[in-house]
Structure 1
Amino acid sequence: MDIWADIKRTFKEGSVLTRLIYINLGVFLLIKIIGVFFYLAGQPFHLVEWLSAPSDLNTLAHRFWTPVTYMFLHAGFLHLLFNVLGLYWFGKLFLYHFEGEKLLSVYLMGGLAGAFLYVLAFNVFPVFASVNAILLGASASVLAILVAVAVYDPQREIHLFFIGRFPLKYVAAFYVVLSVIGISTSNPGGNLAHLGGAAWGWFYIGQLRKGKDWGAGLSAFVYKVGDWFKPRDRMKVTFKQQAPPRDDYEYNRQQNVQQEEINRILDKIAQSGYESLTKREKEILFKQGKK
């Protein structure tokens, strides 16, 4: 399907922020679809539980992958929506100052820090002695990104609906205070994880100012693992780079050829729609749009 091809292309060619949003959306849809089949078969569905981070240390030892998987997992649509919106808004602000590799590392390390504080608190404080909880959601990672960019650029103003413009530092402080207050509510684990993510965002920027990028190794490892799963095409299409123009006449000739090709593609879209384009024509149009 052309829709699936477009999704794969935008995922492959998009930013780290785009990929993180796609992964969160994709995991949510996949789990919900699998859950439908289990429901129709009358079978219990435990996949969410197996991907969420447990507070019990023995369970965590047998589900060692959950401190990573939980940060891409959401219980319901509103849970997903608010986290994805926060990831998009604060991720865009973060990318205004830093490259995508740093965004990836803050997201992952913020999520890991959130899981660590959550598990630590549930096994230290007496109030949680008889509680077996699970943690899921990208909130800790999102708050890590928010606090990181707020520490780096505290005076940047953002517009809040129905309220007005506020410096980013106050927005981050509000969410941190809200998480502290929320520990004594119905979601103590989630709010503890928020504080872990916020602590990492603050720590990361402080170390980055000293010239230490504590997330560089993790992001490099993720990219290396990602390369293992990239499909190896049997036939690879390459575009030969044109030689530099020798004079103004040659430059104008090359520009005219490129423009004629773009005009041909646009005419094809007008006549038959975007879906009628070949993969090569879509790539040409996409690259032209990036110029």
Structure 2
Amino acid sequence: MSILQDIKDTFQQPNNTLKKLILINVIVFVVLIVLRLLLYYTVGEAGFQYLMSFIELHSSPSVLLTRPWTLITYFFTHQGFLHIIFNMLNLYWFGQLVREYLGDKKLLSLYVLGGIAGGILYLLTYNFIPYFEDRAANSVMIGASASVLAIVVAAATLLPNYTFNLILIGPVRIKYIALFLVILSISGAVGDNAGGNIAHLGGALIGWVFIKQLQRGSDLGRPLHAIFDFFTGLFHRRPKLKVTHRSNTAFKGKSNGSATSSVGKPSQKEIDLILDKISSSGYESLSKEEKQKLFQASQKE
């Protein structure tokens, strides 16, 4: 029962998007393992494949029209141990960076937009490129790789000179790790997992575009934020309105009528300048004041 309580606590904690994403992927993975075992021993393999058809992304547009939610569910679904382990490790390592510098909302936006972009590129490729015509009828896709690669490339675009210490290799700048993963996906775009690797490239592209647009002052995830906030509001009770009387003397001493809550919050222009400095010179080049502003911005998100 303590495991269930730990899961409940994780979802109740604020500013915990990275752990929630990993936990959702793991829960879906475990549930599918159990259901696969039960269905194989009862109704056979066909029963499990029928179940999967409601969460995996099919390359046929007609199937997608009847199950549009699969454009989302596919990037929370894994079947192989190595598949989910590799994806979740990369999500954790690179997601920590994105979360630290940009905040939880932008991490979630990257994950969702990367998965959607990967799915759309997969559908377009399998339906408009002649090489894939014979495969399109029976092709399906699952896995969070496109979402994860979007976060990897976003982190590398934002902090290209940040280094990870890799086992047996030593310190490596993350821009080279991202480049290696992109080249690996390009090389696999004509193999047995062509659809998956094509989706990876869609995620990588959205990761790069997301950061470049953010540095120009445009947040591609803003429409998603509005959707998330709407659905979040449906499951939270609004506090009852309470009218109180406060003496005007409480505001004496405030210059220019400004509230103290707004003091110290950096503007978007200041954050963009700091992000540009990180991109060109690395996080270590920031002053103590700039680091504090970046921290305040991430808390605000």
TM-score range, shorter chain: 0.7 to 0.9
CA contact (8 A) 1:53 1:70 kept: yes
The CA distance in 2 between the partners of 1:67 and 1:206, in whole Å, is: 25
The CA distance in 2 between the partners of 1:118 and 1:136, in whole Å, is: 11
The CA distance in 2 between the partners of 1:148 and 1:47, in whole Å, is: 34
2:78 matched to which residue of 1? 74
The CA distance in 2 between the partners of 1:187 and 1:116, in whole Å, is: 16
Does structure 1 residue 139 correspond to structure 2 residue 140? no
CA shift at 1:19, angstroms? 0.4
The CA distance in 1 between the partners of 2:140 and 2:36, in whole Å, is: 19
CA shift at 1:125, angstroms? 1.1
**Alignment coverage as a number of residue pairs:** 231
CA shift at 1:83, angstroms? 0.8
CA contact (8 A) 1:11 1:22 kept: no
CA contact (8 A) 2:32 2:79 kept: no
1:124 matched to which residue of 2? 128
The CA distance in 1 between the partners of 2:233 and 2:35, in whole Å, is: 27
The CA distance in 1 between the partners of 2:171 and 2:2, in whole Å, is: 41
> Looking at both structures, which has the greater relative contact order when contacts are Cα pairs under 8 Å and sequence separation is at least 6?
2
One-letter amino acid matched to 1:109 = L
CA contact (8 A) 1:104 1:219 kept: no
CA contact (8 A) 1:55 1:134 kept: yes
CA shift at 1:159, angstroms? 1.2
CA contact (8 A) 1:28 1:73 kept: yes
1:20 matched to which residue of 2? 21
One-letter amino acid matched to 1:3 = I
CA contact (8 A) 2:117 2:202 kept: yes
CA contact (8 A) 2:78 2:143 kept: yes
**Of 162, 171, 176, which residue of structure 1 is paired with 2:177?**
171
1:47 matched to which residue of 2? 51
For the residue of structure 1 that corresponds to 2:53, the secondary structure is helix
Matches within 5 A, 1:166-205: 166-205=172-211
What CA RMSD, in Å, does the superposition of the two structures yield over aligned residues?
A: 1.4
One-letter amino acid matched to 1:39 = Y
CA contact (8 A) 1:108 1:141 kept: yes
The CA distance in 2 between the partners of 1:32 and 1:120, in whole Å, is: 31
Does structure 1 residue 226 correspond to structure 2 residue 227? no
**Of 212, 221, 225, which residue of structure 2 is paired with 1:215?**
221
The CA distance in 2 between the partners of 1:6 and 1:126, in whole Å, is: 49
2:98 matched to which residue of 1? 94
The CA distance in 2 between the partners of 1:126 and 1:27, in whole Å, is: 34
CA shift at 1:175, angstroms? 0.6
The CA distance in 2 between the partners of 1:119 and 1:60, in whole Å, is: 10
For the residue of structure 1 that corresponds to 2:116, the secondary structure is helix
For the residue of structure 2 that corresponds to 1:158, the secondary structure is strand
The CA distance in 2 between the partners of 1:189 and 1:161, in whole Å, is: 30
The CA distance in 2 between the partners of 1:114 and 1:176, in whole Å, is: 13
For the residue of structure 2 that corresponds to 1:179, the secondary structure is helix
The CA distance in 2 between the partners of 1:78 and 1:229, in whole Å, is: 35
CA shift at 1:78, angstroms? 1.6
Query: For each residue in 1:66-122, what CA deviation from the matched residue of structure 2 results, as whole angstroms up to 9, or x when unmatched?
Result: 110000000222211111111111101111211000000000000000001110011
The CA distance in 1 between the partners of 2:217 and 2:89, in whole Å, is: 31
CA contact (8 A) 1:182 1:191 kept: yes
Q: Which runs of 5+ in 1 are unaligned?
A: 233-291
CA shift at 1:63, angstroms? 1.4
Does structure 1 residue 35 correspond to structure 2 residue 36? yes
Greater mean alpha carbon deviation, residues 192-201 or residues 82-91: 82-91
The CA distance in 1 between the partners of 2:132 and 2:235, in whole Å, is: 41
One-letter amino acid matched to 2:72 = V
The CA distance in 2 between the partners of 1:229 and 1:81, in whole Å, is: 32
TM-score (structure 2 length as normaliser): 0.74
One-letter amino acid matched to 1:110 = G
One-letter amino acid matched to 1:176 = V
One-letter amino acid matched to 2:230 = K
Query: For each residue in 1:227-246, what CA deviation from the matched residue of structure 2 results, as whole angstroms up to 9, or x when unmatched?
Result: 4345x7xxxxxxxxxxxxxx
CA shift at 1:18, angstroms? 0.5
CA contact (8 A) 2:56 2:142 kept: yes
